[in-house]
Amino acid sequence: MQTLVVDHPLVAHKLTTLRDVRTDSPTFRRLADELVTLLAYEATRDVRVTDVTVATPLAPAHGVRLARPVPLVVPILRAGLGMLDGMTRLLPTAEVGFLGMIRDESTLKAQTYATRLPEDLSGRQCYVLDPMLATGGTLAAAIEFLFARGARDVTAICLLAAPEGIAYLDEAFQGGDRPIRVVTAALDERLNENGYIVPGLGDAGDRLYGVV
Ligand SMILES: O=P(O)(O)OC[C@H]1O[C@H](OP(=O)(O)OP(=O)(O)O)[C@H](O)[C@@H]1O
Ligand SMILES: O=c1cc[nH]c(=O)[nH]1
Ligand SMILES: [Mg+2]
Domain ranges, ordered by start, for the chain: 2-48+65-209
| Cβ contact 92:102 at 8 Å | no
Which ipTM value was assigned to this complex?
0.98
**Would the annotation count 178 as a binding residue?**
no
Q: How far is the CA of 67 from the centre of ligand 2 (A)?
A: 35
Residue 15: pLDDT band by 50, 70, 90 thresholds?
A: very high
For the CA of 191, the nearest atom of ligand 2: 1
Which residues contact ligand 2 via a Cβ below 6 A?
Answer: 132, 134, 196-197, 200, 203-205
Q: Residue 32: is its pLDDT beyond 90?
A: yes
Q: How far is the CA of 202 from the centre of ligand 2 (A)?
A: 6
Measure the CA–CA gap between 88 and 142, rounded to whole angstroms.
19
Nearest CA to ligand 2 atom 8: 203
pTM for the full predicted model: 0.97
| Residues with active-site annotation | 103, 107, 203, 206
Query: Which of 159, 167, 204, 162 lies closest to 184 in space, CA to CA?
Result: 159
In this predicted structure, what is the pLDDT of residue 202? 98
Q: How far is the CA of 132 from the centre of ligand 2 (A)?
A: 6
Per the prediction, the chain carries an average pLDDT of 97
Mean pLDDT for 81-89 is 98
Measured in Å, how far apart are the chain's first and last C-alpha atoms? 34
CATH 3.40.50.2020 fits 2-48+65-209, yes or no: yes
Q: At what angle do helices 9-19 and 25-43 cross, to 10 degrees?
A: 150
